[in-house]
Structure 1
C-alpha cells in the first residue's frame, strides 16, 4: 500500500504496515467471471485468520454474488445472501449520499457554518475566526477528533489488543446524542479547517445530526427510506429488530479464536453502525454506477490532497491508476469485520468485498483480492468484454 492509500483506513484498520500474502492474478482471464470471483474468494479465505468472505460485483449491468468459507470455526456454515454484515465506515458513504441529496434539495449549503445546526453556543468550533463548514465535515478536514468521547481514541491506538472490543463497549454503553453534543463543547480545533486531512468519525456523526435538523426526522428512518426508494435497498439498517438479529454475522477480532461482540452503538450510527446483506450492497453498487444526480454530487471533489488523492462526500477519489482510471472507494472496519467498496467507472464495475475478521492484515488481503479482480476484468475488457 502507498502512504496515500493507508489514509483511507478508518480507526478500526490500524496497521501502518499492512503485510501479508494476497491473491495472485492469473495471466489469462477465464471465460466465466463467476469463476474469477470464486477463485479470488477462495484465495481470500485461505489467508491467515480469515474465516469467511462474501463478494458482490456489478459489471456492465450484470450482477454476481459469491460466498466462501464458514462463519464460525469448526461449524460448517457459509455466509449466504441472508447474512447481515456490519459494514463499518462504509456507512459514511451512505451519510455522504444523504448530505449530497440535501444539498441538491437546497436544505443546506456546503459553505454553511456547522454551528447553524447546533443548539447552544459553540465558540470552540472555529480556528482564529474561521468556522468549520459543512464541506469540512464531508472531506475530513474539520480538525475534529476521530472519535468522541476522546478516550475512545486512546483505546483504538492498540486496535488489535484483545481487550479493545470490551473497552469500546464500556465507553459507548449508554453514550447518546446528548453526551456527544456535550463533549463537542470541549473540542479544540488545532488548525485552520479545510487545510489538512484527518479522518473523523465524529464529523460523520455531526453530519447525521445536521441531516436530522434539516429534515426534522431521525437519521435511521431517513437513511432507510432514501435508500429503499432510490436504490431498492430494503434491508439496510442501523438497529436490527428481533427477527433480524439472528442473521447478524458472527465475527472475529484480531487473532482471538473466539467470536467477539458487535460494534457498539454510536449516537447516530452514521459513521460505522450500518448493517446490510450482500444483495443490498450489490444494489448500492448499481445505484452508484447509474451515476444519477445525487451520486454525481456525492462524487464531486470537495478537497484535493495530492495529484492522486482527493475526497468527495466522504468518498475517497483516486486517480493515477492506469488500470482502474479514476475511481471511488472506501474501507470499512469494526472489531469483527472489514470490507471495501470500489466504484470504477472506467470498466462500468463495482466491487464489494467483506470478511468476518478484523485484524492488521485483513485490509491488505482484501485490497489484493480487488486488484486481482480488476486485473482480470481489465484483461477481459481488452478481449471483447464479458463472455
Structure 2
C-alpha cells in the first residue's frame, strides 16, 4: 500500500542530514517488510557536484565488528570454538598476562567488550584518539600504523595488563575484535579477509565487501572529511586483520546485510543472543548492542561505526521488520548525534505508519 511506503520519509531524513553543519552528503539504506530503499543525497566533495552512488565504497568503521561477531557465531554453531574457551588456547606462545588473578579472558569477553583489553594496540593509538577532533589525528594514526602488522600486534599483546576480572565491566576494545579475527584464522586455517568474503558472499550475497582495496576499487572509495577540516582527509589506516574497523562496502551490500539480519537464520539468531547484560535495557551479543524496553521500537540490535572521515549506524528492529543503515562522509563531534536524530525521526514515522 502506498501509505506504508517509507520512501518519502527516507528522502526527507536524508535531506535534513545534509543540511546539518559540516555534513556534505549522506546515504541511507532501508529494508522494511521486504521492500528495499536506497537514497543518496548531497555532494561528496564540498562545492563540487556529485552525490554518492550505489557504486560508492564506504568505510563502515566499527560496523566491521558485527561481521566478525557473525563469523564467531557461525564458528560456535559449527563446533569450532566455545564461548567459554580461554583465548590463550588459540595463541602461540605464552601469555600469562591475559588473565586476572587466575580468571582468564574467554571468547565471550572479547565479544562483549568485557575482556579488560585496551581499546587499541599499540597503546599509543589510545593517546592519539583521545583528541579525536584535532586536525593532526588522521596523519598521526597513519604514521603509527604504517608497517604495523599482525606480529607487532601479538608482540604488544604480551605487554598488556588486565586491570580487573574479565566479564565484570564494559570497556570498548577494538583490540579485542582484532584478537577475535586472529582466533578465527587459527580455527579455520584461513586468512580472515578470505573467511569474511566467503561467508558473506554465500550467506548474504554481499559480493563487494572487502578489507583491502585493489587498484581498480580505490577510485570508488568515498572522499571524506575529518572534524571541521575543510580539506578531505586520508582513509583509515589498515590495521592488522581489519576486523575492528577496516571493512569497506557499498550501500547495496549493506542493504543485503540488513536483509540477512532480518531473515534471522540460525547464525544471526545466535549472534543476537545476549552474552552479557548490563541492566534491564542494555545487553550485548556477538558485538551487537542490544537495547530493550522501548515500546515503540521493541528490542533492537545496533552498532555505530566511525573512522576519521566517515560515520555510520546500523539498526535492526525485528518488531517493525525494519533495518536501517545510515552513513555520511564526515566524522566529527556532532556527526553521531545528527545521525541518531535522523534515525529516530525515521523510526517514529515508520512506527506511526505501522500502527495505522
TM-score, normalising length: structure 2: 0.99
The C-alpha deviation readout for 1:171-221, integer Å capped at 9, x for no partner, is 100000000000000000000000100000000000000000000000001
1:10-89 aligned at under 5 Å gives the runs 32-89=5-62
Q: Which residue in 1 is equivalent to 2:214? A: 241
Deviation at 1:33, TM superposition (A): 1.5
Structure 1 segments unaligned to the other structure (5+ residues):
1-28
Q: Which residue in 2 is equivalent to 1:229? A: 202
Q: Which residue in 2 is equivalent to 1:283? A: 256
CA RMSD across the alignment: 0.8
Query: 1:30·1:36 contact (CA, 8 Å) conserved in 2?
Result: no
**Is 1:322 aligned with 2:295?**
yes
Runs of 4+ in 1 over 6 A off after TM superposition: none
Structure 1 residue corresponding to 2:74, chosen from 76, 83, 101: 101
For residues 320 and 6 of structure 2, what CA distance do their matches in structure 1 show? 14
Q: Which residue in 2 is equivalent to 1:133? A: 106
For residues 152 and 343 of structure 1, what CA distance do their matches in structure 2 show? 31
1:90-169 aligned at under 5 Å gives the runs 90-169=63-142
For residues 73 and 230 of structure 1, what CA distance do their matches in structure 2 show? 38
Q: Which residue in 1 is equivalent to 2:193? A: 220
Structure 1 residue corresponding to 2:279, chosen from 306, 309, 330: 306
Structure 2 residue corresponding to 1:353, chosen from 326, 345, 350: 326
Structure 2 segments unaligned to the other structure (5+ residues):
none
For residues 264 and 5 of structure 2, what CA distance do their matches in structure 1 show? 27
**Is 1:364 aligned with 2:352?**
no
For residues 83 and 323 of structure 1, what CA distance do their matches in structure 2 show? 33
Deviation at 1:307, TM superposition (A): 1.1
Query: 2:4·2:354 contact (CA, 8 Å) conserved in 1?
Result: no
**Is 1:186 aligned with 2:186?**
no
TM-score, normalising length: structure 1: 0.91
Deviation at 1:31, TM superposition (A): 6.1
The C-alpha deviation readout for 1:272-298, integer Å capped at 9, x for no partner, is 000000000000000000000000000
Query: 2:24·2:45 contact (CA, 8 Å) conserved in 1?
Result: yes
Query: 1:65·1:279 contact (CA, 8 Å) conserved in 2?
Result: yes
